[in-house]
Amino acid sequence: MTRNITIEDLYRMQFIDRPRISPDGKQVAYVVTRIDDKKHAYRSSIWISPTEGGEARRFTQETELTSAPTWSPDGRWLAFVAKRESSDQPSTTEKKEQKKPGKDKPQIWVMPTDGGEARQLTFMEHGASSPAWSPDGKHLLFSAQVGPADEETEDGKALPKVHVIDQLWYRLDGVGFIYERRAHLFLIPREGGEPQQLTDGDWNDGDAAWSPDGKQITFTSDRNEERWRIPGADIYVLALQDNKVVGEPRVLTDGSMGCASPSWSADGQQIAFIASKKVGSAGHAYLYTIGASAEKGEPKNLTPEFEGTALDFTNSDLGDEHLMPQPAWSADGKTLYVLSSHRGASRIYAISTTNGAGKEPPTVTPGNVHVRDFSLDHSKQIFAMNVADATHPQEIFVRSAKTNGELRKITGFNDALLNELQLATPEHFTYEGADGWPMDGWILKPHNFDPSKKYPLVLEIHGGPQTQYGYGFFHEMQLLVAEGYVVLYTNPRGSCGYGFEFAHAVRGAWGEKDPIDIMNGVAEVVQRGYIDTQRMGVTGGSYGGFMTNWLISHNNRFKVAITDRCVSNMATMFGVSDIGWDLGYDNLDTTPWEDLEKYMNMSPIKYVQNIRTPLLIIHSDQDLRCNIEQGEQLFAALKYMGREVRLVRFEGQSHGLSRGGHPRSRQERLRHIQSWFAKYLQ
């Protein structure tokens, strides 16, 4: 006997990520995160499973944060990042004189894969991340921030900080202030010791990867003069001799793109990477290759005709990251495997390095799946990947690189829970949006659905707008189905996965044709006859919050609405969002002081007097992407006019509350959504 999913089931789900296959292809290391229901806290650890099937074993202890498992080339060691008490820290009596820096920060640890104690390798002031083994296994490359200490103290007491800001991009949602520190690359022997800093300067370096011979490192860095206004990293190569830097880094790209995830070919002659336009990218990322010896050479775009964008942009509420794993080279160098989002799915595609992708490249992960991350063994024969779909949270799968290989599931952390639950499978449909453009939509129907009855409808609108709905798992949507609602979600213009022009179509045009695309989807479902048009609700977050505000200020079709981490005023977004100023160069082609009318015409707050739909506003007070003042403006205006409105403010949470915030806050958010819709639609 199965049952409906509940809010409390969030605490029973386990979140699986970072699959890293061993060099010999026989084991996969990955991170398992669960929620401690007594402390309302996330706990994570590294597990290992055999690729041929068998029992999974927990490799590390559970901590507040454990991530980035990385196999040594010989498979004898596993490096990882963890925030945990060091076994190497001095005794209590020695701590005052000998305390090592970086306590309570994520650091890099190493541990023998056949068992033994983990040993802390780094003691960086602000923590360390992204470990990468040298080809000979004797050193680890890693990334760490340099800059002033977290706090100033006097007589053991913290003093209030004074922030002196002279850069436009000085904070980041989910992180906080970033202007004082820079991320750089370091090298440390496997046995430990003093790390050697490889890069320096008033910029950030990252995404580092070793050349096959261990004599060079490729990495990304944004050293352009306008980096704090129009960010976009280039591809660099740094030469090493006897693990010492030789000369200055060479830049391979010309500063016109934002580059990421560089990856060496087996012969060391080529570097594959992912990049998008620096201005007007519409979130669309392409796969490129470039000669490793090039001096600002011409990169080769392998995916100019492919609609897919080269990263995981499929939405889900089981994780707060859109990953862009390194493209993986085949053994013969003729194929690159890249994770791309396409028409509701995220899959691994096989791209010819000679002929490119064309319009429909082959995929090694067919079907309606959501692949979040992947890795290949040393022989390039076996994939390990993190796969989910609309009715299954992510688990670890493996697959042979051969064309007839099948996906094989090797973990089942969520199987017991899923066996209890009755979940809705999405029904895909197509319809016409504005200008006759083809659109994708999905419907989730209540259990024991009867087409002769009338059901309340909840329309969900995704954020971005350059992301996509499709086959990601949504606890929130399944909850709404369990409450008896038909749930509708669509990919209007502006969504990714349909090519650059489709995603670019909303540049400077939010609220013009995209609401028509969405409402035409509603009309398509209504005409099927099973929707009670007097009981329709709408909700969305971020850009979806903007669109929720826009729809209810331009029509009265919905009986109730919930706007989450929303945009209400484009003009104030320019200054209060962590990246709001990009509206001036990457969206509206002007600034508020040059053309305030353009900004306000695209702002739902201008039309607030038209809103008569009961509105719940959900916002986090540490949301730096869509600052809480966006929700507060809307609340104040509606309350002043005596309209039905409620503001739920989440303390200490960021923009990603719904998919990675404090567990208790995530539950409370869902309770408010549940009760607000029930009040008006049940």
CA pair distance 459, 445, nearest whole angstrom: 12
Whether 655 is a known active-site residue: answer yes
Whether 82 contacts 75, CB under 8 Å = no
* Backbone phi, psi, residue 415, to 5°: -60, -45
CA pair distance 613, 560, nearest whole angstrom: 6
Q: Which three-class secondary structure state does DSSP give residue 184?
A: strand
Q: Which three-class secondary structure state does DSSP give residue 478?
A: helix
Q: Which of 129, 130, 495, 542 is flagged as catalytic?
A: 542
**Tokens standing for residue 82:** 């963890």
Whether 351 contacts 302, CB under 8 Å = yes
Cβ burial of 640 (10 Å; 0-12, 13-18, 19+) is: exposed
Q: What is the DSSP string of 442-455?
A: EEE--TT--TTS-E
What's the sign of the alpha-carbon dihedral 360, 353, 400, 390? negative
Tell me, rounded to whole angstroms, the distance of Cα 272 from its chain centroid: 21
Whether 199 contacts 258, CB under 8 Å = no
CA pair distance 168, 386, nearest whole angstrom: 37
Q: Which three-class secondary structure state does DSSP give residue 526?
A: helix
**Tokens standing for residue 568:** 């209400």
Exposure string of 12-40, with b = 16+ CB inside 10 Å and e = fewer, is ebbbbbbbbbbbebebbbbbbbbbeeeee
Q: Which three-class secondary structure state does DSSP give residue 22?
A: coil
What's the sign of the alpha-carbon dihedral 583, 589, 595, 599? negative
CA pair distance 399, 422, nearest whole angstrom: 29
Cβ burial of 160 (10 Å; 0-12, 13-18, 19+) is: exposed
Q: Is 585 left (phi over 0), alpha (psi -120 to 50) or beta?
A: alpha
Cβ burial of 467 (10 Å; 0-12, 13-18, 19+) is: buried
Beta strands 560-564; 615-620: pairing state = parallel
Q: 275 to each of 235, 324, 462, 581, how far by Cα in Å? A: 10, 10, 24, 21
Q: What is the DSSP string of 289-339?
A: EEETT-SS--PEES-SS--SBSS--B--SS-S----PPPEE-TTSSEEEEE
* Backbone phi, psi, residue 370, to 5°: -125, 95
Exposure string of 435-449, with b = 16+ CB inside 10 Å and e = fewer, is eebebbbbbbbbeeb
Whether 204 contacts 129, CB under 8 Å = no
**Tokens standing for residue 136:** 């000979």
Whether 316 contacts 373, CB under 8 Å = no
CA angle 165, 127, 581 (to 5 degrees): 30
DSSP element (H, E) containing 601: helix 596-601
Q: Which three-class secondary structure state does DSSP give residue 547?
A: helix
Q: Which residues pair with 217 in a beta bridge?
A: 210, 238
**Tokens standing for residue 544:** 């979806």
- Whether residue 465 has a cis bond before it, omega within 30° of 0: yes
Strand 455-461's sheet: what is its strand order?
427-432, 438-444, 486-491, 455-461, 531-541, 560-564, 615-620, 645-650
Q: Which of 342, 475, 655, 662 is flagged as catalytic?
A: 655
Show which residues are catalytic: 542, 655
